[in-house]
Amino acid sequence: MSEIRIAIPDLDLNNALRLDGNLRNYEIGPFDDVVLDFSRMTNFDPLPMLMAGAIIKRFRYQYHDNTFSISGINGKSYAGTMGFFKYLSESISVGKSPGEATGSSNYIPITPISIRSLQERAFRDGGSIEIGDMIERASARLSHVIDRGNKELHKLLTYLVREILRNTPEHAQADEMWICGQYWPTYQLAEIAIIDEGIGVFQSITRNAAHAKYIHDNRSALKWAIRAGISESFRPAYEFKPHDYDVWKNSGFGLYMVSQICQKLNGSFCIISYGDALLIDNHGVAEKSTSFHGTAIRIRVPTNNISAAQAIIDEIAAQGEVEARTIKNAFKTASMPSKGLMTQLNI
């Protein structure tokens, strides 16, 4: 029996993408004590925290018979407040549990979002509410935390978060998602990250035989997923009509809308799913490799000069419908939710 000390690196995006692969390089015996050393970590940005937490939890499960402990957490009170250490394990007696902190004008703590829990909450409130409406309300509550009191920014953040969350059950086949957010006053920049540990974009989109004919690998699946009208639910004989009964039905515009809005505002969009990642910003599209199990999305949006959220959404939706008409296996019309918020928000 020996002690295996694993230094967790300072987690920028690139280190987060490599973390799973790095952990696999350690040879751990059945009786070894494993120490996770966080002394090198100084940045606790939303996406790296969520990814590192999911990766480390999976790593610990793989070696569930081993003894794990942590070190190097002195001075990491912010990470504790965000719920990072208890996100790794509730048995860690440091900081708050995920979702416990109320947040502030600068951060959304690591928070679980369960579709089942949202439904149960709706029933407790005395009625049956569409899942899309529940997700929109949850998105509005979360966006209030970092909207800076700007009504138009609040609308836009609510829309972006909602479009990601309502797409997750389709591509993930998972009930639970995790969200975390941060606002940097110095840069006037909001970041929101959302992850799930479901089946991933490739497995989801290629369940549709129409897409499986031309999407043959994970990276191409990500590229197609952010194009207008691409959805696992696409059927050649079906097109959205203005008065469709199921207004929340997926039209394949969600990830397209989110990525394009981030670009238009000179922000950035990152999508990670299993073996690959795409980072889109004003420098173009960067393709990266990873071995993360699940799907993660990060949006970064400059918060200054946002004055007309709906006008931005209208412009991108119209642009997307033009693009979709050039794609054979795509919905040609964005759904009502993809064209804006569905409820009157109490701002």
Q: In this structure, are 255 and 322 located in the same domain?
A: yes
Query: CB neighbours of 20 closer than 8 A, spacing ≥ 6?
Result: 55, 58, 59, 290, 291, 292, 293
Q: In this structure, are 213 and 309 located in the same domain?
A: yes
What is the edge-to-edge ordering of all strands in the sheet holding 284-289? 107-114, 176-184, 189-196, 295-302, 268-273, 276-281, 284-289
Q: Which two tokens stand for residue 220?
A: 């191409």
CATH code, domain with 287: 3.30.565.10
Q: Per-residue pLDDT averaged across 6-15, rounded? A: 92
Residue 129: the pLDDT is: 63
Q: Per-residue pLDDT averaged across 203-227, rounded? A: 93
From residue 294, give the alpha-carbon distance in Å to each of 4, 151, 241. 27, 33, 33
Q: How far apart are the first and last CA of the chain?
A: 58
Q: Which of the 8 DSSP states describes residue 153? A: H
Q: In this structure, are 26 and 8 located in the same domain?
A: yes
Q: In this structure, are 150 and 137 located in the same domain?
A: yes
- Judge whether 189 lies within some domain: yes
Token pair 């059950």 in the structure block, residue: 169
- Give the H or E element holding residue 122: helix 115-124
Q: Among 70, 97, 124, give the residue marking a domain's end.
A: 97
Residue 243: the pLDDT is: 46
Query: Which residue from 84, 280, 262, 297 is spatially nearest to 189, judged by alpha carbons?
Result: 262
Q: In this structure, are 303 and 200 located in the same domain?
A: yes
Q: Tens digit of pLDDT for each residue in 279-317?
A: 999 889 999 999 899 999 999 999 987 889 999 999 999
Q: Of 139 and 344, which is predicted with more confidence? A: 139
Q: In this structure, are 213 and 265 located in the same domain?
A: yes
Query: Which residue from 109, 102, 138 is spatially nearest to 122, judged by alpha carbons?
Result: 138
From residue 143, give the alpha-carbon distance in Å to each of 168, 228, 324. 18, 25, 30
Residue 223 has pLDDT above 50, yes or no: yes
Residue 238 has pLDDT above 60, yes or no: no
Residue 125: the pLDDT is: 66
Where residue 91 falls among pLDDT bands split at 50, 70, 90? confident
Q: In this structure, are 30 and 174 located in the same domain?
A: no
Residue 251: the pLDDT is: 81
From residue 212, give the alpha-carbon distance in Å to each of 204, 218, 220, 239. 10, 11, 11, 20
Residue 245 has pLDDT above 60, yes or no: no
Give helix 309-324 / helix 151-172 axis angle, nearest 10°: 40
The phi, psi pair for 270, rounded to 5°, reads -130, 130
CATH code, domain with 9: 3.30.750
CB-CB contact of 207 with 234 (8 Å): no
Residue 188 has pLDDT above 50, yes or no: yes
Give helix 131-144 / helix 115-124 axis angle, nearest 10°: 100
- Judge whether 239 lies within some domain: yes
- Judge whether 69 lies within some domain: yes
Where residue 175 falls among pLDDT bands split at 50, 70, 90? confident
Q: Per-residue pLDDT averaged across 90-100, rounded? A: 88
- Judge whether 347 lies within some domain: no
Residue 347: the pLDDT is: 43
Q: In this structure, are 93 and 106 located in the same domain?
A: no
Q: Percent of the chain at pLDDT above 90?
A: 60
Q: Per-residue pLDDT averaged across 62-75, rounded? A: 92
Query: Which residue from 52, 6, 18 is spatially nearest to 291, judged by alpha carbons?
Result: 18
Residue 36 has pLDDT above 70, yes or no: yes
Q: In this structure, are 35 and 172 located in the same domain?
A: no
Which of these ranges, 3-7, 241-245, 260-264, has the smallest mean pLDDT?
241-245
Q: Among 97, 123, 151, give the residue marking a domain's end.
A: 97
Which of these ranges, 21-35, 128-142, 235-249, has the smallest mean pLDDT?
235-249
Q: In this structure, are 50 and 139 located in the same domain?
A: no
Owning domain of residue 77: 1-97
- What rounded mean pLDDT belongs to the chain? 88
Which of these ranges, 139-148, 235-244, 287-296, 317-326, has the smallest mean pLDDT?
235-244
- Judge whether 17 lies within some domain: yes
Q: Tens digit of pLDDT for each residue in 99-109?
A: 888 777 789 99
3-state secondary structure of 19: helix
Residue 105: the pLDDT is: 73
The phi, psi pair for 165, rounded to 5°, reads -65, -40
Residue 42 has pLDDT above 80, yes or no: yes
CA–CA distance, 302 with 314 (Å, rounded to integer)? 19
Q: In this structure, are 279 and 323 located in the same domain?
A: yes
How many domains does the chain contain in total? Answer: 2
* 3-state DSSP of 282-312: CCEEEEEECCCCCEEEEEEEECCCCCCHHHH
Where residue 248 falls among pLDDT bands split at 50, 70, 90? low
Q: In this structure, are 143 and 4 located in the same domain?
A: no
Q: Among 73, 97, 121, give the residue marking a domain's end.
A: 97
CA–CA distance, 252 with 215 (Å, rounded to integer)? 16
